[in-house]
A and B are shown apart, each in its own frame.
Chain A
Amino acid sequence: MAQTLDQAELDEQLQLGSPWITLVWNDPVNLMSYVSYVFRSYFGFSKPEAERRMMQVHTEGRAVVATGTREEMERHVEAMHEFGLWATLQKVDA
């Protein structure tokens, strides 16, 4: 991951014992404005934060949008799929 902020967030979550992440991947179909809307309306990110993560998806191919338990991440991934975004979950290798 190129974004140091996200690495810091991940480290913090790992220490809290939440080793699963939800990733949103770049796809050629979804509009940038829609991805930003989803991040704001579903995750409650501020507009700048939503835009930052949306741009990360766009330029780096993916972004971490949530960390937590496996069950929580499955719920987020299902919600993203309802929005039509390409999301996956995975365990972070500690």
Chain B
Amino acid sequence: MTPFVRQGDLIGASFERAEAEILVTLATDVHSLLADADTLDPDSQSSRALDRLLPAAYGDGAENDAEFRRFTSEGLVERKVHNAELLVEAFGERDEWAGAVRVNLDAAAASAWLRSLTDIRLTIAAGLGIEHDGDELLIDTDDRFVLEVYGWVGFVQESLLRALDPDFS
């Protein structure tokens, strides 16, 4: 991947095919997780991931939390799904992928990417059991590849933020 660079109104980067494949797969996974939100087994890993995507608003573990989720989850799920779709769409048609896949993001797409990359990282973190600062240092060697992907998605996000930064300073 080449880091994101601003060119006029757009912020662009090039990904290798395998990298594009990884991001598309991860965004699609988050999309599926959210689509299945209503039917998850509460003890499953997917359910723990969903709790990271839709955390408790009051933290009382009771009526206020349940009510907040009842009123907000539909809209939140819809917007998170849309963000994941925008991330996937930015890569264009897979048939047309060459050696490198170019993405050019306008402001709305960049904003959707930042949120979707966060959702992807929250989902991976739930799977790896990263709950406190430093937990990633204790990851089992079997999960090392997933941990590397998690770190790389953070790198993509950091690169996008760096390219955006002048807008917010």
Question: Which of B53, B58, B125 is in CB contact (< 8 Å) with A90?
Answer: B58
CB-based nearest B residue for A41: B168
Q: Within 8 Å CB of B72, what residues of A?
A: 74, 78, 81
Question: Which of A34, A40, A82, A88 is in CB contact (< 8 Å) with B79?
Answer: A82
Q: In A58-77, which residues have CB < 8 Å from any B CB?
A: 74, 77
Instruction: Report the separation of the CA atoms of residues A33 and B76 in the bound assembly, to the nearest whole angstrom.
Output: 23
Q: How many residues of B contact A (CB 8 A)?
A: 37
Pairwise interchain contact B121-A29, C-beta atoms closer than 8 A: yes
The winner among A30, A37, A84, A89 for most chain B CB atoms within 10 A is A84
Q: Other CB < 8 Å A-B pairs besides A77-B57, A78-B57, A88-B58, 14 of them? A: A28-B125, A28-B130, A29-B130, A33-B158, A33-B161, A81-B55, A82-B115, A83-B114, A84-B118, A84-B121, A88-B55, A88-B57, A89-B57, A89-B58
